[in-house]
Structure 1
Amino acid sequence: MGLLVDGEWRDKWYDTESTGGKFERSTSKFRNWVTADGSAGPSGKSGFQSQSGRYHLYVSYACPWAHRALIFRALKDLTDHISVSVVHPDMMEDGWTFATDFEGATGDTLFGSNFLRDIYIKADPNFTGRVTVPVLWDKAQSTIVSNESAEIIRMFNSAFNEITGNTDDYWPTDLREQIADINERVYETVNNGVYKAGFATSQDAYDDAVHPLFDSLTWLESILENNRFLAGDKLTEADWRLFTTLARFDLVYHTHFKCNHKRLIDHPNLWAYTRQLYQHADIAETVHFDHIVRHYHFSQTTVNPHQIIPINPTVDFTAPHGRD
């Protein structure tokens, strides 16, 4: 996981020495919004109107943050309107690359670039920051709209409704406060919590992350005892934001990130719920376990220096979930 400094590439891992061994995620830098009429969103500038074929999405099948965007692209019938390039699962000294020698890695279908950093430099030749996925690219203005997954999924949720005719709403007005509260805890202790445990370089930093993670999994398990979904009977963005972490839990986070107090399948409600979401229309096609397992174990040499790919348990996401 390298970064750009004034447009120059640096192969540099996260600095945990200055934080007492704690992993701290950097803030996304591109924060514009696509809107139905092109007006400015909550942040950034105006000029990004929703139009079929105008936008391109750069993703990794391995990355849970990019996976969110792929899920909403599928849920909101945007596959024919927003094109996609998929990076290679190996992220080594050059960061995300567009190599194509792994099934599902498409290369850069827009520009034929070699590296994802090339896309950032196209948008800003002097860019400083981490080169991450997802990236939403505007073909009309030749720039990055956003590299913040939480905001990209909200754009996909509503900005293209008049184009697709799909008005399904995963961020309904009457549930926004409840969704925000769930999102906050899930992000801090689960979505990012697994990374804080896995990338910790001190015992205290690991302990500070792993215990809140399993406290929150217990909390989520209790919610799902009586609720169909996290916010009640309606499927919302809170569910999909959690799903991308749960789908990776037993195959990656449990062992690779030392989140091994319990497995996902040891939480009956969460495990059934995860299968329910996996079996939702068009979702299974967004999940690529081969990319997930390969990326984490092979690329993250600070955690797995010998790059050994484990055989992993057989986890059947297609088994009946019993939550109908």
Structure 2
Amino acid sequence: MSITQLAAVPSTHPQVPAFRGRIGRDAHGGHYAVPRRYRLHLTTACSDGLRIAVVHSLLALDDICPATFLPAVPDCPGGGHSALRPLYEASAHRYSGPALAPVLSDAWSGRIVSSRTPDILRDLDRCFGDDRSSLYPCGAEAGIEEIERLCAEGVEEAAQRAGRAGADEAERASALDVLLGTLGELDRRLTGSEYVLGGQLTAADVELWVTLVQLDIVHRQHLDASAVHRIAGHPALWAYARRLAVHPAFGRHLDLDGISRRHQARCEGLEAAGAAVRILDWEAHVTEAPDASRR
């Protein structure tokens, strides 16, 4: 088995300020919903940027809240985007850290409203979306939050732990148990169900689909072939991922080359045998999606 060391860069940015503004429904708040007042700045090679791009398309917000798509690999030292630096410098006094995406900016002030993905997603839906096609329907919030937790802890964190375990077989086995247990639960939920919370497409499906993309395109690079085959052994789950990849709001934003290049530029891990085992042929499904594009 050939093992290669990938380039390493810092994976966290503690010097980046947290912008947590929210958009309100009326003028009583500092930021209120006005068409074309706000702009998204995203890279779909980033999992958070991909989540926002899919929701943005599902809500058909191109004219109401325009989006600027940034390169897959940041062009500044430290991982930032030069195009975002004026926004950061206007929003944080003497800011010298990396200018990271995603960002929701306010054209009226030239400053950043929010860089927190869960808030951006909910504000786009609540303030600009159509109530009849809400991705956060009344009564579904607890279910959406549960799927977000399962994806973050049971899939993303567990896959990262398994990939980092190296020669620590006990740690790798423990992490894989969590990962496979979570995938098994999600597979059971999707057996006989079109979407993860039932018959309606919600933000939980965006969360889960992006997590599955990351699992196959990124995390399997650091797992052995046996683990990847076990991950692939959840037919309802991967059929669901395949079906959503054909949906234009999902597939048109799937930048496979960009995700891979971003991962290689940032990753500190070792490539393992699972890198050669593909779970889905994403390219084939993406080309079936109307208006498929690459950024």
User: Which amino acid in the other structure matches residue 36 of structure 1?
Assistant: R
Instruction: Name the counterpart of 1:290.
Output: 257
Say which of 54, 70, 75 aligns to 2:37: 54
Residues 213 and 128 of structure 1: is their aligned pair in 2 closer, same or farther, counting only changes over 3 Å?
farther
Distance in 1 of aligned mates of 2:15 and 2:152: 14
| Residue in structure 1 matched with residue 126 of structure 2 by the alignment | 158
Write the deviation string for residues 251-303 of structure 1: whole angstroms up to 9, x where unpaired: 32211466961356432111110122222243221111111111112x12522
- Give the Cα–Cα distance (whole angstroms) in 2 for the partners of residues 133 and 192 of structure 1: 21
- Partner Cα separation in structure 1 for residue 222 and residue 106 of structure 2: 36
Supply the distance in 2 between the matched residues of 1:236 and 1:25 (Cα, whole angstroms): 32
Q: CA deviation at 1:318?
A: 5.3
Matches of 2:16 and 2:143, distance apart in 1: 24
Aligned to 1:185: 150
- Give the superposition deviation at 1:317: 2.4
TM-score scaled to structure 1, two decimals?
0.71
Report the 3-state secondary structure (helix = DSSP H, G, I; strand = E; otherwise coil) of the residue aligned with 2:68: strand
SS in 2 for 1:226: coil
Identity among equivalent pairs (%): 23
After superposition, the Cα gap between the structure-2 partners of 1:63 and 1:199, relative to the gap in structure 1 and judged at 3 Å, is farther
- Give, in whole Å, the separation in 2 of the partners of 1:91 and 1:239: 28
The runs of 5 or more residues in structure 1 that have no matched partner are 1-10, 16-23, 40-45, 99-113
> In the TM superposition, what whole-angstrom CA distance separates every residue of 1:172-209 from its partner, at most 9, and x where no partner exists?
12222222222222222224444454567894766654
Q: Which of 119, 140, 143 pairs up with 1:175?
A: 140
Query: Unaligned stretches of 5+ in structure 2?
Result: 1-7, 289-295
Q: Which amino acid aligns with 2:149?
A: E
Is the 8 Å Cα contact of residues 21 and 114 (structure 2) preserved in structure 1?
A: yes
**CA 1:257/1:37 → structure 2, altered by over 3 Å: closer, same or farther?**
farther
Q: Which moved more, 1:256-265 or 1:30-39?
A: 256-265
- Aligned pair in 2 of structure 1 residues 258, 312: CA closer, same or farther (>3 Å)? closer
User: Which residue of structure 2 aligns with residue 31 of structure 1?
Assistant: 20
- Name 1:13's counterpart in structure 2: 10
Quote the offset at 1:153 in angstroms: 0.9
**Shift in CA distance, 319/137, structure 1 to aligned 2, threshold 3 Å:** closer
Select the residue among 214, 217, 230 that pairs with 1:251. Answer: 217
Give the C-alpha shift of residue 217 in structure 1.
0.9
Deviation at residue 115 of structure 1 after TM alignment: 5.2
3-state SS of paired residue (1:82): coil
**Cα RMSD (Å):** 3.5
- Select the structure that is richer in helix: 2
Q: Distance in 1 between matches of 2:133 and 2:22?
A: 19
- Given that residues 136 and 147 in structure 1 are in contact (C-alpha distance below 8 angstroms), is that contact kept between their aligned partners in structure 2? yes
Q: 2:192 aligns with which of 208, 218, 226?
A: 226
- Specify the alignment match of 1:102 in structure 2: none
- What does residue range 40-189 of structure 1 map to in structure 2 within 5 Å? 46-91=29-74, 94-98=77-81, 114=82, 116-127=84-95, 131-161=99-129, 167-189=132-154
Query: 2:113 is matched by which residue type in structure 1?
Result: V
Distance in 2 (alpha carbons) for counterparts of 1:116 and 1:208: 40
Q: Distance in 2 between matches of 1:12 and 1:222?
A: 38
CA distance in 2: counterparts of 1:93 and 1:256, whole angstroms: 27
CA distance in 1 between partners of 2:287 and 2:133 (Å)? 27
Identify which of structures 1 and 2 has the higher relative contact order when contacts are C-alpha pairs closer than 8 Å and 6+ apart: 2
For 1:304 and 1:93, locate their aligned partners in 2 and report how far apart those are by CA, in whole Å: 25
Larger mean Cα displacement after TM superposition, 141-150 or 117-126: 117-126
Aligned partners of 2:87 and 2:110 also within 8 Å: no
Which amino acid in 1 is paired with 2:211? T
Give yes or no for contact 1:68–1:244 (8 Å, CA) kept in 2.
Answer: yes
Q: Are 1:36 and 1:160, in contact at CA under 8 Å, matched by a contact in 2?
A: no
Classify 1:197/1:154 alpha carbon distance in 2 versus 1 (closer, same or farther; 3 Å).
farther
Where 2:41 maps in the other structure, the secondary structure is: strand
* Farther off after superposition, 116-125 or 201-210: 201-210
- Partner of 2:218, secondary structure, is helix
